Amino acid sequence: MKDPYVVLGVAKTATDDELKKAYRKLARSLHPDVNPDDKKAEERFKEVTAAYDFLSDAEKRRQYDNGEIDATGAAKRRSWHSAGGGAGGFRGARSGFSSGGFSFGDDVDDILSEMMRRKEKGRSQGPQGASKAGRGTKGEDAHHALTVTFLEAALGATKRVTLVSGKSLDVKIPVGTVDGQSLRLKGQGYPSFLGDHDGDAYIDLKVEPHPYFTRRDKDVLLDLPVSVQEAVLGGKVPVPTVHGKVMLTLPPGSNTGTVMRLKGKGIDGGDQMVTLKVVLPEGDAEFAKLVEKWGARNGYDPRAKLGMT
């Protein structure tokens, strides 16, 4: 792994806030959602995230800065003499040793054991057991925009999403999802700031409009064009639904504005409401003459029934 300071483009003297700002700036520009199918950007995104995770851990950063570990977190080999001098080594420091609240008359093994005990105790207690240095603080939440089709939202689906961590997950889109709905993925947000609790990821859903379906709660609405012949004589006509095509029986004398219900063909047990729209043939001279003769013979005036004449 490269020097994490170099990866993030910050100095070794960078504050925690400067680290966070550098990471956010790089993460936004390198995120796979912004660079689809760009493997180099994806690898760089993972590298930047790993560097930030490393340096945002106060203990790891201290050890790295002191040359105790390398960028992978592995301990560096040190001579016994450099660690404490001569055969006494660390043992020579057992009497009166005091640091970070520890004071023992024994050797360094006792100190390390006590440090591990306190660390585990803080984890088991959650945020309440965290230290004032920032342990247990939650990372920021991340938001990902995801567009789904009308049918995917209506019937449910599974979509692949790449998170800020670079991890790709299959996200289940619930049946009946509405535009603007958010799905929460716990602990999949930005890394915690000197803490153990990562933020959450929210998948913000946008539902694409459909060419001819709309919805009203769980009901699906459809305007269905029908010919004059189908409207006057009745008969079976094919009707699309979110579940597939079905046949609808039109009664003779159906008219524009007639609403017919297809029970259970909506969303999650809802219905489909079909509104008929009678469509006249375009540019058919023979049909026009036929209607003219029919009108002259019958004198039908639909406005008369409404008292509009």
Q: Quote the pLDDT of residue 196.
A: 66
pLDDT grade for 94, boundaries at 50, 70 and 90: very low
Q: Do residues 132 and 100 touch, judged by C-beta distance below 8 A?
A: no
What was the pLDDT predicted at 193?
Answer: 59
Looking at mean pLDDT, say which of 4-13, 104-113, 202-211 comes out highest. 202-211
Give every CB contact of residue 144 below 8 A, 6+ residues apart in sequence. Answer: 33, 161, 163, 201, 202, 203, 204
Query: What pLDDT is recorded for position 194?
Result: 58
Residue 95 has pLDDT above 60, yes or no: no
CA atoms within 13 A on the CB side of 140: 7
Across the range 156-172, mean pLDDT stands at 91
**% of the chain at pLDDT higher than 90:** 41
Q: pLDDT, tens digit, for every residue of 48-62?
A: 888 888 898 888 899
Residues 287-304, mean pLDDT to the nearest whole number: 84
Q: What is the CATH number of domain 213-306?
A: 2.60.260.20
> For the residues 25-38, what does the mean pLDDT come to?
80
What does the pLDDT look like over 104-143, one tens digit per residue?
344 444 544 544 454 444 444 444 444 444 445 778 889 9
Give the range among 112-116, 150-154, 234-238 with minimum mean pLDDT: 112-116
What percent of the chain is modeled with pLDDT above 70?
A: 79
- What's the pTM? 0.56
- CATH 2.60.260.20 domain extents, the chain: 142-207, 213-306
Which residues, 6+ apart, have CB-to-CB distance to 234 below 8 Å? 249, 250, 251, 252, 253, 254
Instruction: Look at residue 296 in the predicted model and tell me its pLDDT.
Output: 83
In this predicted structure, what is the pLDDT of residue 133?
Answer: 40
Residues of the chain with CATH 1.10.287.110: 4-117
4-117 CATH: 1.10.287.110
Q: How does the average pLDDT of the chain come out, rounded?
A: 81
**Cβ contact 85:79 at 8 Å:** no
Q: Which residue has tokens 């009946």?
A: 176
pLDDT at 243: 97
Over residues 32-51, the pLDDT tens digits come to: 777 778 888 888 888 888 88
CATH number of 142-207: 2.60.260.20
DSSP states of 165-198 as a string?
Answer: TS-EEEEEEPTT--TT-EEEETT-SSPPSSSSB-
Strand ranges (DSSP E) for the chain? Answer: 97-99, 102-104, 142-148, 157-162, 168-173, 182-185, 201-207, 213-216, 219-227, 235-239, 246-250, 259-262, 272-279
**Where does the pLDDT of residue 1 fall: very low under 50, low under 70, confident under 90, or very high at 90 and above?**
low
The residue ranking higher by pLDDT, 136 or 274, is: 274
Q: Higher pLDDT residue, 176 or 122?
A: 176
CA-based torsion, 46, 120, 137, 4: positive or negative: negative
Q: Which amino acid is at 104?
A: F
Enumerate long-range contacts of 182-185, CB under 8 Å, 24 or more apart. Answer: 182/143
Computed from CA positions of residues 103, 108, 113, 116, in that sequence, does the dihedral angle turn out positive or negative? positive
Phi, psi of 257 (to 5 degrees): 95, -15
Q: Residue 162 pairs with which residues in a beta bridge? A: 168
For residue 79, pLDDT beyond 60 = no
